[in-house]
Structures are given as C-alpha cells and as structure tokens.
Amino acid sequence: MSIFYLLFFHLILSSDVWICAFRIQLPGLRPAVVNKTAIDLVSPQSAARVNQDKLHFSQQPRIGARFAVPGNTAQQTDAKTQLSTRPLRIIISGAPASGKGTQCELIATKFGVVHLSTGEILRSAMRQNTPLGQEVRVYMDHNRLVPDDIMIRLVSERLQQPDCSTHGWVLDGYPRTKSQAESLLQSGIKPDCFILLEVPQDILLERATGRRTDPVTGKVYHVRFSPPQHKHIADRLIHRHDDTAEKIITRLKDYQHHTAVVRTYFEDVLVKVNGNASKEEISKSILGTLSRIQTSIAAGVGVK
C-alpha cells in the first residue's frame, strides 16, 4: 500500500504530467519545438518566430529537414504558414516585346503578388484623361521616358498601398533609370529577385511589330504567332503607336542603355532568363526560381 502511495505522489509531482495537462487544457498554445520546457508554450505566431530564429542562427538539422521533405503536403503547408515572414518582391526587366507582361501574369497567378506595370498605369491614365495622363502624354507620344520625379512619386505611393504590403509585388518597367533604382533602395525597398529576360533584337522586332492589343479585354495577340480566333475581335485590335519598327529600335537602344546602369544596383539578386523560348519553358524557369527564393525566405536565409 505504501508503495502505491509513493508511486502516486511521484506521478503528481512529475513535470511531464503537468505539462501534458497544460497542453490539453490550452489547445491554442502549441509547442515551438518538441521539448518540454515551459518557454515552448507560446502562441502560433511566436512559435513561428522562435522556430525561424532557431533555424537561422543554429541551423538545427532536424527542423530544417521538415521543410525539405518532398511530397509531404501537410508538413509543407504547416511550414509555409508558420514560417512565411513576408510576401515576394520581384522586379522584372526586359526589352519591349520580351514577354514580360505574359510572365508577370503567370507570376501574379502563382504567387498572388500584385502586378505593377508602369507602362500600363500610364497608358490607362492617358485613356481616362486623368491629370497624370495629361501630364505624361507628351512624353509617351514622343517615346521619351517620363521624368523621374513623376515616376518615383507614382511608384512609391503605389507600393505603400495595402495590397502591395500584404501580397507582395512584381514591378514591370520600373526602375528604368539610375535615379529610380537609387530611390527604391534608399526607401528601404530591396527586391528578392531582379529577373532579366534576354531576347535577341531581331526576334524582338518581329514580335513587337506584329503585336496587337484588344482594348476590351486587354489581351495581347500577335498577327502571326497568336491571332484571335474570332473576326469581331480581330477587327477591334489596336496597334500600339510605339510598336512600329522605327520606334521599337529607338526603344531598344534606350532600354539597353538604361538597363546597363539599373542592373548594377541589383547584381546580388540578378537572375538572367533566356526569353527566346516558348512561353511555357520561360515560365517554368522563372516560377521555379521564385519558388526556391520563397523557400529560402521562409527558412530565414533569403533577402531581408
């Protein structure tokens, strides 16, 4: 009988029993790591932070391995939810008709980021004849870059809007000049990746001169490579005023000149992609790269 009492008191005093009981009573509190110290009983958010710090500073192989197991959807989703610290920030650079717009749509669909095309924002402002549209028309019509002060204000205001901070962004057509690149970095905005889509000039010319836009849906067609299926769509297509051979050559020269400068600010995150391939091959390469970057960020080893 006395042995029974001794065993009973030993169980009551055992920390395992108390910790077990505590965890059962408070299901909202979960352990940060599988360990039985009281400090592990924290909220899910703190658990994620603690796990991330541990990964970052001590590179614990057991925890790290959890995120590398392929095909384990439950664990991967759990890892993503707990460790994703912030959404992706991407810059994409490519000459006119390099296929940036198409790739941006695919990136936005896969990663949920906001697609910000400065050219499209400006064209839309012109179509709606807003004060911004009136201000930039003269530059756009003459194929000149819109002044930096207008562009910097436009983009920095746009990036501060809640959708960009919540979902991240892919910047298309910006930064285009030294001042734009510097202002972005000076305001503390460091992209995770600077994608450079590379396409030979003769291919770009062929693509750009045959490019047509549907003003109703915004969809882009090509008279030879991807014509619309219906005549009523073909009849309403618009040929962008700056998609003529002469203007394209000027724009290509401008692009090469500016990109040579702008890319120097992002060499550490620069990813060159061969844009002279099928849409599917290009997107496979870009989306794969971005997935790897996202995993690194989640594991605490990406760009801060």
Contact 166, 244 (CB under 8 A): no
Looking at 151, 204, 290, 298, which residue binds ligand AMP (CB under 6 A)? 151
Q: What x-and-dash track marks residues 74-113 binding ligand AMP by CB under 6 A?
A: ----------------------x-----------------
Residue 100 annotated to the active site: yes
Q: Which stretch binds ligand AMP (CB under 6 A): 32-40, 63-71, 143-151, 221-229?
A: 143-151
Stretch that binds ligand AMP, among 33-41, 141-149, 266-274, 296-304 (CB under 6 A): 141-149
Give the DSSP per-residue string, 259-285: HHHHGGGGGGGEEEEE-SS-HHHHHHH
Q: Helix, strand, or coil here: 56?
A: helix
66 as an active site residue: the answer is no
3-class SS of residue 238: strand
146 interacts with ligand AMP by CB under 6 A: yes
8 Å CB contact between 173 and 259: no
154 binds ligand AMP (CB under 6 A): no
In angstroms, the CA 159 to CA 183 distance is: 13
* Residue 191 is a binding residue for ligand AMP (CB under 6 A): no
Residues 160-189, interacting with ligand AMP (CB under 6 A): 173-174, 176, 180
Pairing of strands 41-42, 30-31: antiparallel
Backbone angles phi, psi at 299, to 5 degrees: -85, 0
For residues 286 and 107, the answer to whether their CB atoms sit within 8 Å is: yes
Q: How far is the CB of 200 from ligand AMP (least distance, A)?
A: 18
Query: Which residue is catalytic, options 89, 176, 207, 212?
Result: 176
- Closest to ligand AMP by CB, 173 vs 275, is 173
Q: Where are the beta strands (DSSP E) in 62-201?
A: 89-94, 114-117, 169-172, 193-198
Q: Which of the residues 110, 240, 247, 263 is marked catalytic?
A: 240
- Is 251 a catalytic site residue? yes
The answer to whether residue 89 is catalytic is no
Give residues with Cβ within 8 angstroms of 186, minimum separation 6: none
Distance CA 167, CA 149 (A): 26
Catalytic residue, candidates 89, 207, 211, 212: 211
Convert residues 108-127 into a mask of x (bound to ligand AMP by CB under 6 A) and - (unbound): ----------xx--x-----
**Where on the chain is the footprint of ligand AMP (CB under 6 A)?**
96, 118-119, 122, 139-140, 143, 145-146, 151, 173-174, 176, 180
Query: Which residues are designated catalytic?
Result: 100, 176, 211, 240, 251
